[in-house]
Structure 1
Amino acid sequence: MVQKNCRIRFHLELKVKCFGTMAAVGNRGVVTEAAGFKAEEDVQKLRAAMKGVGTDESGIIEVLAHRTIAQRQLIKQAYKQSVGKELADDLQSELTGNFESVVLGLLKLAPKYDVDELRTAMKGAGTEEACLIDILASRTNAEIKTITACYNKDQERNLEEDICSDTSGMFQRVLVSLLTAGRDESNKVDQALAVQDAKDLFEAGEARWGTDEVKFLTVLCVRNREHLLQVFQEYQKLSGRDIEASIKREMSGSLEDAFLAIVKCIRSKPAFFAERLYKSMKGLGTTDTVLIRVMVARAEIDMLDIKAEFLKMYGKTLHSFIKGDTSGDYRKILLELCGGE
């Protein structure tokens, strides 16, 4: 039995390594590996939190908000072995609302979480275009390829076909381009090409009547980050206007949102997500889908950088914003994923 358990754990750890999170690369997350981790002990804590009348939400937060994605997979496996049920099913029967959404999101491997978000965004009447943009504009080629493979297998559907059936026009073409995961990811900057790209973008937008959106797609969805940063500088020199300002002048709706997201992610993903979090909470009401998606997806990747950008951009801490805009156990778990002030 011990040998079998070790074998199961080895295969699970291998699966997490291959399909889990990219957090280890940057190591800028708030959530880090718990020292002295023992999955079986965490299982007992979770069982105790759900046993009897009522639920000890604090006990659930204490465990799941302070374990990495990889550690949570081992907890899920140990729970199933010792209880004979899926941990997610038991938690779902105990919890409700936004708190439940956060907890269940934390249990998923990174690609699986993105897949479920994408499917939810396209299921039923209407489409949450913001979700499609948030995920496809910010993930690496490798991440997009994994998401696509996971979606096609898990949902028994085709991600590109679903996106094409749910979107239209140039917005659809931008998403399909991002979905090919073909962006150059080298650091090579061709100065002459950067100048030409800036000129092409200017002539495709500001310098003509109407806009040639295909030229924007060709440059913004294909070139590498370092090259595009140079293109943006050349564009500013040529037009006297920032590329984001030109996109806002030339486009509208979801297409504008998509191109702006691409530019912002090229410049700084943490700043992009800081803005998404700010807009999800400012004013009346809270866009909980966005707030939850960013907090769950980025907690282990770059939340430290997102917090720093949030403070720099808005003069207030992300912690204080979340505290003032949410309540109850939902607030508690988000604050844990956010870390301190």
Structure 2
Amino acid sequence: MAGRGTVKSQSGFNPNNDAEILWKAMKGFGTDEATILQLLTSRSNAQRQQIKAAYKTLHGKDLVNDLKSELGGMFENLIVALMATPVMFDVTSLRNAIKGKGTDENILIEILASRTPNEIREIIKTYKQEYDRNLEEDVTGDTSGYFERVLVILLQANRQQGVQESNIQSDAQALFNAGEKKFGTDEDQFVTILGNRSAEHLRRVFDAYMKLAGFQIEESIQKETSGCLREALLAMVKCARSVPAYFAECLYKSMKGTGTDDATLIRIMVSRSEIDLLDIRAEFRKSFATSLHSMIKKDTAGDYSKALLLLCAGDDA
């Protein structure tokens, strides 16, 4: 998977030079947005952190605060997101999804279903350091029922490794018995199997399920469950099949129809830019008969659009 990002480290990188360029772009009358977006989208996250440190050393000011005071709207949100470390970006997204009135279940599902066990452990640790709170307690305080149980299992980050050959058939049968075969649904089986098996193992189980039921597991989940539980189980199945395909679909949904879900668009473009955005672009093209680049161009405007297109780094039209 390594090297499937669109954003790479810049060679010959000099954090002090970059800090000076950004300082000049913001001081005086008016702001040079073009320079800011060109520079920050062409540095890796680790390099942006060094620029942030150099800026403070050279000018005694916080780069992110200066950017916030100079920029506005979605462009500001995107640039601020690029300046956070990947784990901090996930942690703040989760915190914002939980705190205050109401919960943004989609954010909880998207992050917890798609991150690797190591990333989840890092998120839990950083959340505690940052807010002096326990992420699992905050999640359980805000959710209930089987949906809550799914999230708790994902937070354990304890998926089995590899494929258990001897369990493929029995897992497929257990899922079939839990849904299609009985009146009502045994959610427990879905939650346990989808939450604890490795992606490779689950892909084999889905094939066995298809042979048994005559249709895909996604169809059973659609039919047998509802609400947030349904969304969480579907996300787990999709991520087991292909994380890039899952994100391609999330990006498509964030832009299709009227109005754009900018928060989701920014979250995925930023968080996947150094991981697998090239694969996401390819999956997007395959599934939606248009390119990610063209859809961003059509649905966004101004510097915000320019910066997103630089992150996208190419058109698969």
Q: What is the TM-score with the length of structure 2 in the denominator?
A: 0.98
1:63 maps to a residue whose letter is: L
Q: Within the alignment, does 1:243 sit opposite 2:235 as a pair?
A: no
Aligned to 1:228: 202
Mapped partners of 2:219, 2:306: distance in 1:
38
1:112 maps to a residue whose letter is: M
Mapped partners of 1:54, 1:117: distance in 2:
31
Mapped partners of 2:269, 2:122: distance in 1:
21
Q: How does 1:2-151 map to 2 (within 5 A)?
A: 26-151=2-127
Mapped partners of 2:122, 2:155: distance in 1:
11
Structure 1 position 192, deviation (Å) = 2.9
Structure 1 position 166, deviation (Å) = 1.1
- Matched pairs, number: 315
Structure 1 position 170, deviation (Å) = 0.6
Deviations 1:179-215 (A, max 9, x none): 011112x22x233311000000010011001111111
Deviations 1:61-109 (A, max 9, x none): 1111010011011101100100101111111111111111110111111
**SS where residue 284 of structure 1 aligns?**
coil
Q: Flag structure 1 segments of 5+ consecutive residues without an equivalent.
A: 1-24
Mapped partners of 1:192, 1:234: distance in 2:
12
Q: Flag structure 2 segments of 5+ consecutive residues without an equivalent.
A: none
Aligned to 1:210: 184
Mapped partners of 1:212, 1:54: distance in 2:
61
Aligned to 2:288: 314
Mapped partners of 1:172, 1:97: distance in 2:
34
1:156 maps to a residue whose letter is: D
Q: Within the alignment, does 1:302 sit opposite 2:283 as a pair?
A: no
Mapped partners of 1:48, 1:320: distance in 2:
33
**SS where residue 229 of structure 1 aligns?**
helix
Aligned to 1:5: none
Structure 1 position 325, deviation (Å) = 0.2
Mapped partners of 2:164, 2:15: distance in 1:
50
**SS where residue 221 of structure 1 aligns?**
helix
Aligned to 1:4: none
Mapped partners of 1:148, 1:101: distance in 2:
24
Aligned counterpart for 2:130 among listed residues 149, 154, 160: 154
Q: Within the alignment, does 1:290 sit opposite 2:290 as a pair?
A: no
Aligned to 1:176: 152
Q: What is the TM-score with the length of structure 1 in the denominator?
A: 0.91
Mapped partners of 1:183, 1:82: distance in 2:
46
Aligned to 2:303: 329
Mapped partners of 2:19, 2:25: distance in 1:
10
Structure 1 position 330, deviation (Å) = 0.8
Mapped partners of 1:279, 1:193: distance in 2:
35
Mapped partners of 1:254, 1:296: distance in 2:
25
Mapped partners of 1:315, 1:67: distance in 2:
31
Aligned to 1:270: 244
What's the Cα RMSD here? 0.8
2:279 maps to a residue whose letter is: D
Mapped partners of 1:253, 1:289: distance in 2:
21
